[in-house]
Structure 1
Amino acid sequence: MTDLSSSPTSEASVTDATKFIAIDGPAGSGKSSVSKAVARTLGYGYLDTGSAYRALAWHVLDRGADTDDAEAVRAAASDFPVRLGLDPDDRTVRVGEAEVTEAIRDPRVSGAVSGVARVPEVRAQVNELFRRLVSEAPYPAVVVEGRDITTVVAPDAPVRILLTAAPEVRAARRAGELAGENAAAVAAALHKRDASDSAVVDFLNAAEGVEVVDSTELDFPQTIDAVLTVIERLRGAHRG
C-alpha cells in the first residue's frame, strides 16, 4: 500500500526520470485512452495521475469534509492510504480497504477535484508519490499522464509530450464518452474545468522542449501512431 503521508515532500527527492514517458493535456484531449494504448503497445506501465487526485477528493468527502477547505484537504492528505496499480489493463484504485475505482468517477467527486489540486503542499506530496511509483516500477518505463507531468513532476524526462486538440473537438469527444449527456452542458463543464485547473498549472501550452501532438484532425489509431513516433524518436535520441 502506498501511503501519501509517508512520502517526502522535497521536490529534489531521488527519482529515475528516464523511466518517465510524460504526457500532459487538457480534458477531452484523449490522453488517458491514448496513454493506455501506448503503454500496452510498448509493454510499459501506465499511471493516471488524475486518479490520485480523484481518490483524495473522494477521501476528503468520505470524511465529511469540504474540498474547498484547504486545512481539511491537508488533514486528509496526511492520512491517505492510496493504492494505484501501473498495469494499463487493471485500473483498480483503493483507499485503505475501500475499492473506489468507480466511485472516484462520480460527478460529486469530479466537481470536488479542483479544490484538492489547488493546495500546493498536497500537490508536492502527490508528486512525490508519482515519482516513487515510477522509480520502483517493474517496467522499463511508465507512461504518466496528467496536467503537470512534463513541467513539474518529471521536467527532465527524455520524452515529454503535450497532447491537445481544438476545444470543440475535445468537447465533442467528451460528450460522446458520456452517453445521454447534453453536448452543450458537457462543453460548458469542460471549459469550466480547464479554466479552474489552468489557474494552478498551464497544461494548454507546451513548455520549452515539450513536443506537441495535436489530434484535432486525427482519429484514435492515428493519434496513437503519432505519439509512438515521438517516443521512438526521443528515446532513440536520448540513448544515442
Structure 2
Amino acid sequence: MAGTAMTASGLGEGTSAGVRAHGSVGSGEPVRVGRPLVVAIDGPSGSGKSSVSKEVARRLRVAYLDTGAMYRAVAWDCLEKGIDLTDGALVEAAARALELELSTSPDHERVLVRGTDATDAIRDPRISASVSAVATNLGVRDELIRRQRALISEHGRRIVVEGRDITTVVAPDAEVRLLLTASEEARLRRRGAQLGGTQSDEQLAQQVLERDAKDSAVASFTRAADGVYTVDSSDLDFEQTVTAVLGVVHAVVDGRSTSGA
C-alpha cells in the first residue's frame, strides 16, 4: 500500500550501555487495552513531531520515546569529553559506552548522561549544530536503534516513538506508522518560535534545512514509505494536528478505511 495522506477535515489525505526508563505515562483514554500499540512517527525538523507525539502519547495513555534526544545525548557527551565528532570510530565507541537515563513519560522530560542532568543542555544550539555528525554515523545508529527497540519491548509495545527512520527501520512492524510533515516556511517559523526568536534566519536554516539534508543521507523521513500515512500540518494549529494524528490511530486500530473521506 502506498503512503496515504490525511487532511484536517477527515481521513483520506545498567551496564553503561543500557537505557533505563522511568515515570508514569500520563492520562487519557486508553486504546487497545492489554494489546500492543506502537505509534511510529517520522518527520523533518520543525514539523511538530515532539510536541504532537507527546500529546498523542498522553491521550492514549502510553509511553513516549524521543529518539532524537538520544542522538543529542551522544553529541553532548562527546563534546563534554572533547571527542572530535569527525572521528567516527571514537564517536561510535562513545555511543556504545553511553550511560543514559531517558524519561519515557510524555509529562516529564529528563535526560541524564553519566548521572548529570543534560535535559536542557542537549537542546542548546551548539548541539543542534553538531548532532548531524552523530546521527549520520552508522555505528551510532546501530547502537541507538538497538536501545530504542529494547525500550519499545520494555514498555510492552505500548508507546509513541518519534524520530527520523522510525516507520521504516526502528519499528517497521508498528501498529500505526505515520509521517508528520509541514511546509518549509511553517517549519522554520515554528522552530524560530520554539527557540524564542533567539536565532537568525541563517541559523534557523542551518538547524532545520541543512540538518535535514545531512540526515537524509542515512535516514528516510521526508517521504512516506508504503503503508505509512501522512499528516501535513502546514495549515493546522497544534490541537488540529493532534486530532489529525489521533484520527489516524483510531482509524487504523478500528480497521476503518483511511482513504477518500
TM-score (normalised: structure 1): 0.89
Deviation sequence 1:57-97 (CA, Å, 0-9, x none): 11111111111210110221231111112111111011121
Aligned counterpart, 1:130 = 148
Kindly state the Cα deviation for residue 200 of structure 1 after the two structures are TM-superposed. 1.5
Alignment of 1:141 with 2:158, yes or no, is yes
**Residue 83 of structure 2: which of 48, 56, 65 is its match?**
65
State the SS of the aligned residue for 1:144: strand
Aligned counterpart, 1:169 = 186
Kindly state the Cα deviation for residue 146 of structure 1 after the two structures are TM-superposed. 0.1
**Residue 123 of structure 2: which of 95, 105, 112 is its match?**
105
Alignment of 1:90 with 2:104, yes or no, is no
Deviation sequence 1:134-190 (CA, Å, 0-9, x none): 11126x611100000001001111100000011111111111112233552244221
Structure 2: runs of 5 or more not aligned: 1-13, 20-34, 257-261
Kindly state the Cα deviation for residue 4 of structure 1 after the two structures are TM-superposed. 3.0
Alignment of 1:10-49 (within 5 A): 18-49=36-67
- Structure ranking higher in helix proportion: 1
Alignment of 1:81 with 2:102, yes or no, is no
Asked if the contact 1:2–1:82 (Cα under 8 Å) also holds between the matched residues in 2, the reply is: no
**Count of residue correspondences:** 227
State the SS of the aligned residue for 1:204: coil
Greater Cα offset, 103-112 or 165-174 = 103-112
Whole-Å separation in 2 of the counterparts to 1:166 and 1:193: 16
Asked if the contact 1:23–1:146 (Cα under 8 Å) also holds between the matched residues in 2, the reply is: yes
Whole-Å separation in 2 of the counterparts to 1:90 and 1:177: 18
Whole-Å separation in 2 of the counterparts to 1:203 and 1:237: 25
Structure 1: runs of 5 or more not aligned: 7-16
Alignment of 1:114 with 2:132, yes or no, is yes
Kindly state the Cα deviation for residue 2 of structure 1 after the two structures are TM-superposed. 6.9
Whole-Å separation in 2 of the counterparts to 1:220 and 1:64: 39
> Are residues 2 and 54 of structure 1, via their aligned partners in 2, closer, same or farther at CA, if it must alter by over 3 Å?
farther
Asked if the contact 1:171–1:186 (Cα under 8 Å) also holds between the matched residues in 2, the reply is: no
Deviation sequence 1:84-114 (CA, Å, 0-9, x none): 1211111101112111101111122221111
Greater Cα offset, 222-231 or 179-188 = 179-188
Asked if the contact 1:92–1:99 (Cα under 8 Å) also holds between the matched residues in 2, the reply is: yes
Q: State the AA in 1 paired with 2:184.
A: P
Whole-Å separation in 1 of the counterparts to 2:190 and 2:78: 30
Deviation sequence 1:2-27 (CA, Å, 0-9, x none): 74369xxxxxxxxxx94421000001
Alignment of 1:158 with 2:170, yes or no, is no
CA RMSD of aligned residues (A): 1.9
